[in-house]
Structure 1
Amino acid sequence: MRVFVTGATGFIGSAVVRELLDAGHEVLGLARSDTSAAALTAAGAEIHRGALDDLDSLRGGADAADGVIHLAYVHDFSDIEASGVIDLRAVEAIGAALAGSGKPFVNTSGTLAVTPGRAGTEEDAGSDGVRRGDSENATLALAERGVRPSVVRLPPSVHGEGDKHGFVPSLIGIARAKGVSAYVGDGSNRWPAVHRLDAARLYRLAVEAAPAGSRLHGVGEEGVPFRDIAEAIGGLLALPVAGIAAEDAAEHFGWLSAMVALDNPTSSALTRQRLGWRPEGPALIADIEKGHYVTD
């Protein structure tokens, strides 16, 4: 299968490219810059020049492939609504190119948009108007237009060596700056997590065989107490660990404040059953304790 991959040189995307190539697939990677193009060539993938807001390039990449995996996203926390609109337009362009083809289209969403406070499942619908919720629902609706769409929902922590811009390195940076590794309240709220290589394998399985209209949860651990995460970071940096009041979260965590107190346990039982996916990578706390987050 020849797979068009957006976000192909990112932390997760580069692992997906490697997973696809190792499984015998061909990869056509979206490249916005010469640096990205060089990375794709070095990996053994083909280059497709373009960008997420270049809809003609997205349509061209989809037309030239047997399937699409969409990982790219404009992470602009100063204008979350605009980021969501760019992503939705990209999904619509790819969907239009694939309509009537029967080709697979695997999009990316997040578990944080799924029913906080109880264990979310693959049967929970995405929330309209919530960041990636609109593009998630637009993707799955393509099943009615002759596409085999699926969505991989990723947890807030997709961890592993080489993670430079995810939530874990952000929390480490905040702890260093503040001199304390903090959690909100008693820190009992839970974050799901998955190792990067396990997530990459799920994307491959999805593009190969996910049923049309399926939601998939790339979750290796259903819920890690946030206090455990803070304690692991504190141990890594030799910093004190402390709880802070909810009203102080914005000052301490900045842009992450809306997420650090969320209780987001998420099940991946149906995903494992549907695709035979079995996470094998290190758990989040063990991965933090390895030390690569401060030595990479």
Structure 2
Amino acid sequence: MHRGDLDGLAAAAAAADGVIHLAFKHDAMFAGDFDGAVAADLRAIQALGDALADTGKPLVTTSGTVLFAFAGLHDTLTEDDTLTEDDTLDAGPRIDAENADAALTERGIRSSAVRLPPTVHSPLDHNGFIEGIGRGLNLPRSASRRPRPKPTSGFLSAHAQADNPSSSTLTRHLLGWKPTQPSLIDDLGQGHYFDAPPTTPR
């Protein structure tokens, strides 16, 4: 099936017990056509919705917490507030797709969206560029108070500099989710991001 084949996508969805939609045209986005990639994602969700309407089947899509930072939602929060599952926006790039997914519950679909964070972390990740790294490098605390530099590397730079405090409290309650791995700050404190890279034998 061609990646732009909405009829094929709908037929596959109709034959499935449920759908998890993870696709996004990142190649178009990195080529400078972010609007085109966003529009294609919205069309795909609409096609899936048409195929699954009144079936009671689940449809899971993905969104991102950082979208709300880019839209300025965090500017309205107090210093101690975080983004929660109840926070929504009326419109915006990719937010339109999340809202379209949420609206499918009215069409007899068990729809939900997983908001992904802009970064992930683990002992296997040695490319960290997130909070707390300054401590591991013994940088002075005052460095964190310097004016934020303007983005210089496009898409990645904007994500790395976004202030994106978010909470998973409601998700933990609804799903009985009890994370057991280290939190981001605890993981950074273990030091593996700052270990010397292994040398390659010659």
Whether TM exceeds 0.5 here: the answer is: yes
Aligned to 1:178: none
Distance 1:281 1:230, change over 3 A: same
Higher relative contact order (CA 8 A, sep 6+): 2
SS of the aligned residue for 2:111 comes to: strand
Q: Which of 129, 132, 140 is 1:228 aligned to?
A: 132
Distance in 1 (alpha carbons) for counterparts of 2:12 and 2:185: 38
Matched residue pairs, number?
A: 181
Q: Tell me how far apart the structure 2 counterparts of residues 50 and 287 of structure 1 sit (CA, whole Å).
A: 41
User: TM-score with structure 1 length normalisation?
Assistant: 0.53
Q: What aligned pairs does 1:83-162 form with structure 2 within 5 A after superposition?
A: 83-114=37-68, 115-117=73-75, 118=77, 119-129=82-92, 131-160=93-122
Pairs within 5 Å for 1:172-183:
none
In structure 2, do the counterparts of structure 1 residues 84 and 170 end up closer, same or farther at CA, with 3 Å as the change threshold?
A: farther
SS of the residue 1:250 aligns to: coil
* Deviation sequence 1:202-230 (CA, Å, 0-9, x none): xxxxxxxxxxxxxxxxxxxxxxxx54145
Query: Does the 8 Å CA contact 1:161/1:292 hold for their aligned counterparts?
Result: no
Partner amino acid, structure 1, of 2:160: V
CA shift in 2, pair 1:257/1:292, >3 Å: closer
- Equivalent position to 2:33, from 79, 89, 92: 79
Larger Rg, first or second structure (1 or 2): 2
Counterparts of 1:57 and 1:281 in 2: how far apart (Å)?
39
Asked if structure 2 preserves the Cα contact closer than 8 Å seen for 1:121 and 1:268, the reply is yes
CA contact (8 A) 1:100 1:147 kept: yes
1:89-129: CA deviation from partner (whole Å, max 9, x where unpaired): 11111111101101011110011123224311111114412
Structure 2: give runs of 5+ residues left out of the alignment: none
Counterpart Cα distance in 1 of 2:24 and 2:194: 25
Q: Whose strand fraction is larger, Structure 1's or Structure 2's?
A: 1
State the Cα distance separating 1:269 from its structure 2 match: 1.0
**Structure-1 separation of matches of 2:127 and 2:5:** 30
Give distance in 2, aligned partners of 1:65 and 1:240: 55
Give ranges in structure 1 of 5+ residues lacking alignment. Answer: 1-48, 172-225
Q: 1:284 to 1:68 in 2, by over 3 A?
A: same
Counterpart contact for 2:121–2:128, Cα < 8 Å? no
Q: Which residue of 2 aligns with 1:269?
A: 169
* Post-superposition offset of 1:282: 3.2
Q: Name the TM-score, length of structure 2 as normaliser.
A: 0.74
Judged with a 3 Å threshold, the aligned counterparts in structure 2 of structure 1 residues 169 and 134 are, in CA distance, closer, same or farther, namely farther
Shift in alpha-carbon separation, 1:261–1:81, aligned structure 2, 3 A: same
Code of the residue aligned with 2:168 in structure 1: it is S
Residue identity in the other structure for 2:132 = D
Identity across matched positions, percent: 45
Aligned counterpart, 1:290: 192
